[in-house]
Amino acid sequence: MKINVKSISILLNILFLCGGLYLIYFFKDKIIKKIESKKQFDVVLYGDSLIEDFEWQPKNREIKLTNIGYGGITTSELVWYIKDNVILKKPKICFLEGGINDLTNGIPIERTISNYSDMVDTLLHYNVKPVIMGTVLTRGYSKFITDLTPTNQFIDTLDLLLEKLANEKKGCEFLNINKSMSKNNNLISTYTDDGIHLNKEGYKAWSGIIEAYLLENDYK
């Protein structure tokens, strides 16, 4: 019986190709994540689900911006992952958001402030400009929770403490997003559909605040 070497060679090549394609498909998410982690950006938005859903690019297309947010994440977790999610991207500036999930998880506000302080120190150490945004006020009620007044009281206190922290940290700034996005200490009604999360109009208003900051501070 003659062995067709050419046919065996072709068959082996096909098997190797199929195996390679299978591995690429099986590990595609990890491969994409690895590639994405090496990309560099000028501006990073870092926070929880509010940032995760923040689909926006500056009018100046030369500015490379990415939003890195995770639903349900606490500020402690933001501290843990800041090097992989922010520092490796070598941005010039990082906008920090978060804290509402600390409240829902029973984390003391003192710990939240301490976590923000740690994030700011890390960013400054790597020559990244930290801009603290805190978190967005709620509507005061939602289809999930009847009364969100305690939540807004927490956010008010958080904003005051974060602004104080920013003033104490040389090179750090506080960007008051609630000043423009709220009325009577509640999120403006047209900016939300459920009382908590932002809709298209809400993100449009928020992006305008960040856009104005970048323009005012000549970030290109």
pLDDT digits (tens, 9 = 90+) for 47-105: 999 999 998 888 888 889 999 999 999 999 999 999 999 999 999 999 999 998 998 89
Pair (22, 94) in one structural domain: no
Beta bridge partners of 94: 44, 130
Q: If you average pLDDT over residues 163-184, what whole number do you get?
A: 95
Do 15 and 70 sit in the same domain of this protein? no
pLDDT at 211 exceeding the cut of 90: yes
User: What pTM, to 2 d.p., does this model score?
Assistant: 0.80
Q: Which residues contact 83 (CB under 8 A, 6 or more apart)?
A: 122
The answer to whether the CB of 93 falls within 8 A of the CB of 64 is no
Dist. CA 191–CA 77, nearest whole Å: 28
104 and 206, same structural domain?
yes
* Residues 135, 107, 178: CA angle, nearest 5 degrees: 15
Greatest mean pLDDT among 23-27, 99-103, 127-131, 192-196 lies in 127-131
Q: How many domains does the chain have?
A: 2
Identify whether residues 152 and 136 lie together within a single domain.
yes
On whether both 173 and 212 belong to a single domain, the answer is yes
Q: CATH no. for residue 209? A: 3.40.50.1110
Mean pLDDT for 156-181 is 95
Q: Do 17 and 100 fall into the same domain?
A: no
The DSSP letter of residue 144 is S
Local structure of 64: helix, strand or coil: coil
pLDDT value of residue 138 = 84
Say yes or no: 123 and 206 in one domain: yes
Looking at the structure, do residues 32 and 131 belong to the same domain, yes or no? no
Give residue 145's domain range: 39-216
109 and 170 inside one domain: yes
Q: Do 34 and 48 belong together in one domain?
A: no
pLDDT in tens, 123-163: 999 999 999 998 898 876 555 555 566 788 889 999 999 99
Question: What is the C-alpha to C-alpha distance for residues 49 and 104, in angstroms, rounded to an integer?
Answer: 14
Integer-rounded Cα radius of gyration of the chain: 23
